[in-house]
């Protein structure tokens, strides 16, 4: 059996592609790789983080987006607790509500950050305790 090699991308439903694109760019420094325009309307976007290792896609699907509000389908890795603390300070400086850093099952996690549709985005370390 051939090996798997990680995720190609994760796609999330959203109510407003432009609003979501702008939020992920402003808050998490993601950049656009592809935009999907259908009949002159922006219906989807593929983005990637600054390091190029976290590929996310967003597709206009308001009903599914509403159903996912409050759920935490993605946890983005960060190298260390000091990096997680840097993210906490960044989010706070932007006025983005979050639940702070807590101890996760493995490592530390910044919880309570929600995108424009209420989908929770968690930032996780792979080791180290909460501060």
Here the contacts of 36-43 (C-beta below 8 Å, separation 24 or greater) are 42/17, 42/18, 43/17
Domain tally, the chain: 1
Per the domain annotation, does 93 fall within a domain?
A: yes
Residue 20: give the domain boundaries.
10-124
Per the domain annotation, does 92 fall within a domain?
A: yes
Per the domain annotation, does 46 fall within a domain?
A: yes
How close are the terminal C-alpha atoms of the chain, in Å? 43
pTM reported for the whole predicted model: 0.92
pLDDT at 4: 86
Per the domain annotation, does 3 fall within a domain?
A: no
What is the domain-level CATH number for residue 116?
3.10.180.10
Per the domain annotation, does 1 fall within a domain?
A: no
Per the domain annotation, does 4 fall within a domain?
A: no
Q: What is the pLDDT of residues 73-117, one digit of tens each?
A: 999 999 999 999 999 999 999 999 999 999 988 899 999 999 999
Per the domain annotation, does 35 fall within a domain?
A: yes
pLDDT at 45: 98
- Residue 118's nearest CA partner among 11, 14, 43, 21 is 14
Does the structure show a pLDDT above 60 at 3?
yes
């Amino acid at each position: 059996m051939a090996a798997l090699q990680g995720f190609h991308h994760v796609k999330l439903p959203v109510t407003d592609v432009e609003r979501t694109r702008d939020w992920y760019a402003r808050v998490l420094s993601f950049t656009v790789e592809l935009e999907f325009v259908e009949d002159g309307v922006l219906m989807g976007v593929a983005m990637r983080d600054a390091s190029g290792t976290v590929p996310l896609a967003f597709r206009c699907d308001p009903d599914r987006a509403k159903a996912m509000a409050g759920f935490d389908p993605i946890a983005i890795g960060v190298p260390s607790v000091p990096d997680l603390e840097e993210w906490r300070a960044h989010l706070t400086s932007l006025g983005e509500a979050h639940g702070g850093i807590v101890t996760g099952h493995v490592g530390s996690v910044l919880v309570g950050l929600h995108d424009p549709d209420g989908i929770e985005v968690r930032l996780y370390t792979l080791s180290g305790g909460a501060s």
